[in-house]
Structure 1
């Protein structure tokens, strides 16, 4: 999933924050949807509100994923029936062949984006509306077997329904984020004068929601790292273990090219992140270390 995971999380935070701001303004103006009456918090109302907002934000982020990925990375979508170069035709054929082997009924969109980074990603709201894209850098420096291994990994993400599964997990995380951010904001607002409580509560909701969302991303990233191992196994089933292992070793060989080309702001969309981080940063890494991925694949 890689950088696409981070992008999904950031999009989710923005969507959630927008929903909360709009809802807070509406409820304040029309005096509806109160979750606190007479100084008592209605935990049932707060829980239901958190559940609805949490999953709404998550599914909106999912629905936007393919469109935003194409725009942010300037992906050229390849028409299988159009005029393609030999290299483009080879990519389309690999994606379609591996997708059929994975049992997909609808072929993913296939794209190439211009970047010297050695990377690829898969995204989309469903198996029926998915996208697999590779960088020009990957095609230019990797041999045919390594490219097939990378594409097999991305197709495995689509076949496994990882984006939908992540959306459900993100919805659960969002629910807790909304619940505890509003609860904390209510408690903080009670520490100031009554005439300031509304402003303080509104600001506290936004601050706590962003803070708790960042903490909640630790759970999502841990899930992402687990799914990477699963996608490696799926890629090995589709392309062969030797090609999958060769792809991972090739990625490791080009690790220094992973984040070049001015795409740091677009880092959320990459699926085959070159290598995970160590230490505390590992908690916020969407991918495990490449050496660990290779080791597990070979031990399988």
Structure 2
């Protein structure tokens, strides 16, 4: 856990330092209207895009995942062959297949390129699920890749980050100007930065709600994709197994949204969940009707 936190903080500090250098090189002045928008876009999209580009590396480092290059046993051979078959059916390049050590039943997919992604499963999943259930989980993760969910989430987060940065500073200037009475030389002091900090938190909360709404929506799509690739009964059985054994995810924040597990919370916490409750996902699958003559997962809606 400590290793993951240190790695996360170090990566984010490196991203902030890099973006600050870029702004200094191009002489971007955040005090002007154009400069503010450019600054917001640089920081808003910069962090999301860089995180996406290094997502596979971060996932491997933070989970200690072992990538299967040459299957060492029958289980690894089955995993590799199943993902290969599903990737071909979904119309994407063969992802890297990995196993990471964790007691929970979980799996995730990540990567900036849908043809060079990573699909990983936990040792807990391999112990607790049968082959049919595990096949459905793999189909779910391959569907995330085929749907381009990692890229879409990064772009959405970039847009939301940009709006939060711009709105908090514009509104902050208005509030600070009102408090200072618009006196010459007034405003722009410590009060302005306190206001902006508070607005960043408030607007950031609403932005997170929007991002999490989309995250929950794409989980239904990935479940439908898993049903397409492995069969609806297998996907329902996999989710039912998760509902019986679900615990708190130990996945790092960067890839937790793309895990199979999740969806526990009520009230405000529900609005910030990356996954819908498992009972809702099971019910949606029972009512799901596959599209006629559907071949590629990336057309699942």
Whether these two folds match at TM > 0.5 is yes
Q: Give the RMSD, CA atoms, in angstroms.
A: 3.2
Output one character per residue of 1:48-78: Cα deviation in whole Å (capped at 9) or x when no partner: 4433432222211211211111111111111
Shift of 1:165: 1.1
Q: Which has the higher contact order (CA 8 A, sep 6+)?
A: 1
Residue of structure 1 in register with 2:51 after alignment: 61
CA distance in 1 between partners of 2:265 and 2:14 (Å): 27
CA distance in 2 between partners of 1:254 and 1:293 (Å): 16
Q: TM-score, normalised by structure 2?
A: 0.80
CA distance in 1 between partners of 2:30 and 2:19 (Å): 15
Which residue, 255, 260, 263 being the options, matches 1:269?
Answer: 255
CA distance in 1 between partners of 2:216 and 2:186 (Å): 47
Shift of 1:32: 5.6
Contact 1:58 1:167 (C-alpha < 8 Å) held by counterparts:
yes
Residue of structure 1 in register with 2:130 after alignment: 143
CA distance in 2 between partners of 1:229 and 1:16 (Å): 35
Residue of structure 2 in register with 1:250 after alignment: 241
Residue of structure 1 in register with 2:79 after alignment: 91
Output one character per residue of 1:128-152: Cα deviation in whole Å (capped at 9) or x when no partner: 2211000000000111100001110
Cα 1:177–1:267 change in 2 (3 A) is closer
Cα 1:186–1:26 change in 2 (3 A) is farther
Cα 1:34–1:170 change in 2 (3 A) is closer
Equivalent position SS for 2:173: helix
Contact 1:73 1:113 (C-alpha < 8 Å) held by counterparts:
yes
Contact 1:107 1:128 (C-alpha < 8 Å) held by counterparts:
yes
| Structure 1 unaligned regions, length at least 5 | 1-6, 37-41
CA distance in 1 between partners of 2:265 and 2:186 (Å): 47
Which residue, 249, 258, 268 being the options, matches 1:280?
Answer: 268
Q: TM-score, normalised by structure 1?
A: 0.80
Residue of structure 2 in register with 1:214 after alignment: 205
Contact 1:19 1:53 (C-alpha < 8 Å) held by counterparts:
no
Give the number of equivalent residue pairs: 275
Shift of 1:201: 4.4
Cα 1:83–1:227 change in 2 (3 A) is closer
Cα 1:211–1:141 change in 2 (3 A) is same
